[in-house]
Amino acid sequence: MRMYDIIQQKRDGLVLSDEQIRYFVKGYTEGSVPDYQAAALLMAIYFHGMNDHETTTLTLAMAESGELIDLSSIKGITVDKHSTGGVGDKTSLIIAPCVAALGYKVAKMSGRGLGHTGGTVDKLESIPGYRTSLDKQEFFDNVNKIGIALVGQSGNLAPADKKIYALRDVTATVGSLPLIVSSIMSKKIAAGSQNILLDVKVGTGSFTPDLKDAVKLAEKMVEVGKLAGRNIAALITNMDVPLGKAIGNSMEIKEACEVLKNQGPCDLTEVCVELSTYMVWLCTNDSYEKCKSRVVESLKNGTAFNKFRDLVIQQGGDVRYIDNLDLFEKTAFSYDVLALEDGFIYSMNTTAIGEVSLMLGAGREKKEDSIDYSAGIYIHAKTGDKIKRGQVLATLYTNRKGILSEAENEYKKAVKISKSAPNEQKLIYQLVK
């Protein structure tokens, strides 16, 4: 078998066999297939696409390129959630303890933030002492003991995806649907859960700004997940506006705790209730109403918050910071961004707002960049809110005093103010199953 023939076949718009796809993934991961041939095949896939069977084979080959997590030693029903990423998206911190409080097992591996999207692992590491790296046995033991573990992704989880994604990033092939699907699903399948809920974001803060594209992506991922033998569904959720009010690592931990105490922002609470409800629905196949009732009760009676405390303690975190949120370190500087006119907030460029948080130190542009856990943005007014000149739109928190003027200007540019109110936006668009 030759890579030349595989490239030529896809160049001509033909279907690749399972053997050809696996040959490419194995060869590129091991280094026998050079970058220039891999890049040629990726570009051919970009232009001609792949059918569902090809995409599933590519996904499984990428998943099998490294460690496949076997969760059979975990007693009970396992469930996982994956978000396509957003600004202020702290849902994993809330839904994982919420679902675990209801008796389901959440063995979750999460990523770090890069660019304008935040990472669950970074947020957890803002809790002093919290360990995001556990050996496999401790990971399993924790899930069996308290029903939940939230850790960083294994270094050997779908290594083919890591190599292929890096090449896609420099060859203008990131936007290929089968390549996006295989990248996301290979890691989820390798992570081992039988039940998977996908949170597919749509809007200015996501990589699928158009609803039709988001639905198409969700449908493809669900189809591939089913072909790979998983019980899977996807929820399409709004990322035209940052989720909740807090952007930044320790700030988002605080806000997650508020939601878990049933005292958080309405939009974040609603999205988390819906995601948790459908995770429970996948595990039980009970009615939506029954699942939602159980989720809401876990927030009201404190069991969800207590489960988060259990998680923090079990993974070495200082739980005093969860019990007294004022203990989290504060930045040296804060600055209020004021409205320049009366009117309504008509729209928010969520990606641009996420990039402001990067300027403040809350994220990283390159993987080796360090993060200021205390930096971030607190949003006081969001899309649809009526505002007056001089009203505080947001407060910026940073230890970089020299960046405040530029950050203020960029935030103002990201918020469009109009004399008329915008149409009300949905938080949840649809379920794909």
Q: What's the pLDDT score for residue 91?
A: 94
Q: Which two tokens stand for residue 345?
A: 């907030």
More confident residue, 255 or 157: 255
| Cα atoms in the 13 Å half-sphere on the side-chain side of 422 | 18
Q: How many CB atoms lie within 10 A of CB 322?
A: 22
| CATH code of the domain containing 378 | 3.90.1170.30
DSSP code, position 156: T
Give the pLDDT of residue 113. Answer: 58
- Specify whether the CB–CB gap between 130 and 124 falls below 8 A: yes
The pLDDT score that the predictor gives to residue 89 is 86
How many angstroms separate the Cα of 281 from the Cα of each of 147, 231, 273, 297? 17, 11, 12, 15
Residues 41 and 176 in one domain: no
Same domain, 302 and 224: yes
What's the pLDDT score for residue 114?
A: 55
Please determine, for residue 65, whether its predicted confidence score (pLDDT) is greater than 70.
yes
Range of the domain at 17: 3-49
Return d(Cα 46, Cα 320) in angstroms, integer: 50
What's the Cα-to-Cα distance from 162 to each of 42, 59, 79, 368, rounded to whole Å?
14, 13, 24, 16
Three-state secondary structure readout of 45-86: HHHHCCCHHHHHHHHHHHHCCCCCCCCCCCCCCEEEEEECCC
Can you give the pLDDT at residue 366?
Answer: 64
What is the rounded distance in angstroms from the CA atom of residue 257 to the CA atom of residue 251? 10
Q: Which of 415, 352, 330, 388 lies closest to 117 in space, CA to CA?
A: 352
Helix 303-314 × helix 136-146 angle, to 10°: 150
So what's the pLDDT on residue 205? 81
Query: In this predicted structure, what is the pLDDT of residue 363?
Result: 82
DSSP state of 118: -
Averaged pLDDT of the chain: 93
pLDDT tens string 162-177: 899 889 988 999 889 9
The confidence band for 155, taking pLDDT boundaries of 50, 70 and 90, is: low
Q: Is the pLDDT of residue 115 over 60?
A: no
User: Is 156 within a domain?
Assistant: yes
Q: Are residues 351 and 400 in the same domain?
A: yes
What is the CA angle 322-323-329, rounded to 5?
A: 55
In a shared domain, residues 243 and 384:
no
* Average pLDDT of span 24-51: 96
Output the pLDDT for position 116: 56
- Rounded to whole angstroms, how far apart are CA atoms 404 and 382? 21
Instruction: Report the domain count for the chain.
Output: 3
Would you give the DSSP letter of residue 385? -
Q: Count the Cβ atoms, other than its own, within 10 Å of residue 430.
A: 15
Q: Give the model's pLDDT for residue 302.
A: 96
Whether 235 is covered by a domain: the verdict is yes
- Note whether 93 and 162 are same-domain residues: yes
Q: What is the pLDDT of residue 175?
A: 82
Do 18 and 144 lie in one domain? The reply is no
Q: Are residues 368 and 222 in the same domain?
A: no
- Residue 262 lies inside a defined structural domain of this protein: yes
Taking alpha carbons only, the member of 167, 200, 163 closest to residue 181 is 200
Across 73-77, 284-288, 361-365, 398-402, least confident range: 361-365
Known catalytic residues?
82, 161, 168, 183, 187
Whether 319 and 357 map to the same domain: the answer is no
**Distances 423 to 28, 344, 415, 430 between C-alpha atoms, Å:** 49, 11, 16, 18
Tokens of 256: 């997650």
Return the structure tokens found at 255: 């806000």
Q: Is residue 83, in this structure, part of any structural domain at all?
A: yes
- Taking 90 as the threshold, does the pLDDT of residue 370 lie above it? no
Q: Among candidates 183, 152, 211, 242, which has minimal Cα distance to 65?
A: 183
Answer with the one of 275, 294, 323 that is the final residue of a domain. 323
Q: Average pLDDT of 305-312? A: 98
Q: What is the pLDDT of residue 276?
A: 98
CA torsion, ordered 51, 56, 58, 64, to nearest 10 deg: -170
The H or E element that residue 377 is part of is strand 376-379
